[in-house]
Structure 1
Amino acid sequence: VGRCALPPPESLGPPPPALEIQAAVTHTALHHFQADRCYYGEIDGDTAIIRQDAARPGLASVAAVYSLGTMPIYKAMLHGNQPVVVADVPRSLALDDSLKQLCLDRGILAYVNIPVMRKGKLLGNLCLTQCTPREWTTAEVALLQETADRTWAAVERAHAEDALRQSEEQFRLLITATSDTVYRMGADWTQMEQLLGKDFLADTLAPTRTWVEEYIPAEDLPRVQAAIAEAIGQKSLFELEHRVRLADGTVGWTHSRAIPVLDARGELTGWLGAASDVSARKAAEQQLLQFNAELEQQVAERTQALAESQARLQSVFDSVAIGIMLLRAVRAPEGHLVDFEYVLANPVAQAYTDGRPVVGRRYGEVHPGIYHTPVFGQLAAVVETGRRTDFEVHYDYEGHNHWYRLVGAPLGDGLLCTAEDITTRKLLEQGQAQSLALLQESEEVAGLGSWDYDLATQVLTWSDGLYHLLGRPVGSPARAQFFLDSVLEDDRPAAVRLVRALADGTHSFDGPLRLRVGAEVKTVRCKAVPLPAAPGAPVRVLGICLDVSDVARLEAENLALKLDRHKELLLAILQAQENERQRLAEVLHNSLGQVLYATKLH
């Protein structure tokens, strides 16, 4: 009864000196009082430990671990700090049932139990038992009580001495194992008793009064002396980081801590301390301080640069030629977006309004027309989808009749928006579109085509009219090689000069080329002109191609007609000459005949 699953007493044992004292006392008491069993128990809370007992031969040992929780009456009597005397266990009414049964099982019919208490705490008990009922005398009880008190005092001293030995051994092991310097000082710190430097500081193995000159640099001496004086005055921990002369003669840093050693009266008898090498940390801290100083300088420079950048940004913000607005979303209670609120607006954006300051006002209030144009939907989509937008819109509300380019980028629950008046460009684009349409019609009517060659990108662009002129699908790759592939062999040198003029961009070309276009041959007059930058080298070559096939044909037909006429005239002249020759021959023949006839008559 009362046993529990705790380790056996021998595994919990006190140090051997205390155990020997207990053994000596119990054996002495056993024989003096002529009892059957004597033991000393240690009590910790509800746990009682009997490590050994002295008993008459033939009796079983009662050494074990017991639980006082199952013996509330017995426990209460022990806490009463009075001897518990039982002369006859079976007849006693002041016993717990569990304790009575335990006694009967162990053959204990009478006992005296002396509790040991210190400062109101139950620490143990000394017990004599008898295997037969026994009337215990008052003298026996008193002597046993004195024995218990003296035994506990002896055990306490043994514990203290053993603890001191263990502490000294642990301190010795700590000194051996630690890398810190360990030192002992006198009560007033004027004398250093001992210092083990551990390769950090020079050792001091004999008492010395010159330790300050040997270890403390002059610049740190006032701080060290002040910390020592404060620790002595308060009998408290000494702790300080200071410079110290190292074993190699250089100066480093140490973190020194010392605790006061007090006697029984609370008077200082000395100091025990340890010092660790913090030179590396101090060097790192110095580097960190230097780094922080440099960082602060960089931050200051960066702050100034940021301020200058902000000033420049503000200058750009105020002077840029486009409107810039920061708009915050305005939502209905249900959460959907219904408007925007101006957060920022530059002067140009302000100029687009009714003249009153816009910051804090609703965008839809200033420009109600946004709900009748794609503006609100486009800007709302930026906030809801997080995607950028870039669109152009014609705005004909609030007295405006302009084209605007709006660009919006998401920014929190809102957007950054720019607005640019592109009315002039739109009018120019419309004029260009009209001119282009007129040019295309002109090219179609006149059989004309144009091209543009970018010298930097080497990209050749044909107009639709040139595609039609050369019989190529509109949009197919435009290549200068086409002229070389399609030209008649007699005109190849001219085609080569045209292609070279394109590639070089340094000279012009003007001349006709006969090109095979499908099943026919077209005569095309080509003209290329380099277009220089202003000023600078040419950047592109512009050209036109004109179908002069009809002109060439008419010229050929006109030439043939002229040749026919010249031939007819020549034939007529030749015929007239022949007729005149025949007439002259006839006249000559007649004249000669008359002369001959006249001659004959004579």
Structure 2
Amino acid sequence: MNGEQIEAVAARFETYRADGTPRPPEEAPLLRALRGEVIRGEEELVRCPATGELRRRVVTGMPVRDGDGAAIGSVCVVRDITGSKPAQQALRESEQRFHLALHNTPVSVAFLDRDLRYVWAYNQQGGRPDEIIGMKDEEVFSRGEAAKLDALKRRVLDEGVEVRHQTWLDRPEGRTFLDVTYQPIIDQSGEVSGIGMTAVDLTQMKLVEEELRRSREDMARAQSVGQIGSWRLDTREDVLTWSDEVYRIFGVPRGTPLTYRTFLDRVHPDDRDFVDERWQAALRSEPYDIEHRLLVDGQVKWVREKAFLEYDDAGEPLGGFGITQDVTQRKRAEEALREREAEKASREERSRLARDLHDSVTQALFAVTMKTEAMAFDEELPPHLKRAVHDIERLSRGALAQMRTLLLELRNDPIEAVSIRQLLRHLVEATAGRTSTQIQLDVTGDDLLPPALHVAVYRITQEALNNVARHARADHASVVLESRSGRIHLSIEDDGSGFDVVPDCPGHLGIAGMRERAEEAGARLRIVSRPGKGTLVLLSAEPERT
């Protein structure tokens, strides 16, 4: 057919362009191909004269040329797509809905073939989808990341199972945290033909979680450093929630279920009623800011608790939020301060008393001693008065020595700072002054002993001489101390009434106290006595070996 014939045939059909506008006969694809134009899949609408039905067709055409290149004809292929057009339209609409659903979301979708190359991608974060088409993971990610992802995908191919994975990935735009799901794509034969991938970008959520975790850790550290924990009590459900620091303060394993009753059970028994009364008062809108004791593994702790009560619209209590602070160290410091202040007051009182005694009683005793000593040389005194004066002189000297010993005890200076020779002389003179016993003192060697031994020698001699004065009724006694380079030997002996030495007899003549003194000083104490045979107290110690 020539061009005129083709145009005449085309004029008999009512034709439209794809957009529905009428198309002139001279624009028929066959004529345009005859004129040398190549037609590539052009859509047209044609009304069938017999039925009046409008059909949709796709026309592809090209000219036929001779050896000189001149168009001598045309060839066209016409495909009726009327039936498939609604399906295509539905597909386009579905794709539009799919794209709209994923638009501006952190969700990416892709398909990979069995070679694990990307064949389709949509909504890729940080780049265009077509950038990764035809690529493998090693061309997109680092070697380590690609190897990890490749292993997961091969499991999907080999086992035909869905695999989910969360990971951090390094991208040019920064680190990204993805929740990735790989699903097998099954073909008609039941074989895995590829992989469908869905990736959800959780970076912002992960960063928020990380920031929240750091904030909680910082809070926990701050609470630990400050020894302050927080808690919340739901009074309606009777559920108590503690921070980690409160668990530590109360000595309760973390995560232990808690109620108001379990809290109250851990309060010191002597404070339990007080704490409960204050909490019940707080529920009636009174302040709750108290200090009380806990009993934790047998140890007493002090805590300060402060609560802020919460109420519903009707004014009924819902519970409270509060803090618990471990104030044990503060309480101990306060107690130590009170003890130091009491000790300071005691020292000041002892010093005052020592001054008063020295200025009054001691001076009076000294005057009596001097006066009686002078009277003893008066030749005109009758013998019986001389004996009386001599007794008064002896008693006053003993009282004076005992007063000096008492002043030593009252002074704030430690006993260790006073010569052991001087200490023993005061003890001997005081005992001799109040008894008729003749006491011999013999001290050789060092005047200052190691502190613990210094005190032990003084106290044991003091107790032994007290026994001589009170119980022994001895005529003679001796105190002998030898000390050289930390080695000491002390003996206190009398010829008095003696006694049966019963082992482990607490309180008997002060023996238990003497033994404790010896043990504290690392010395050995031995007591030898029999009724009517006197008593020998022996104390010995060797120098410490290094």
TM-score, normalised with respect to structure 1: 0.34
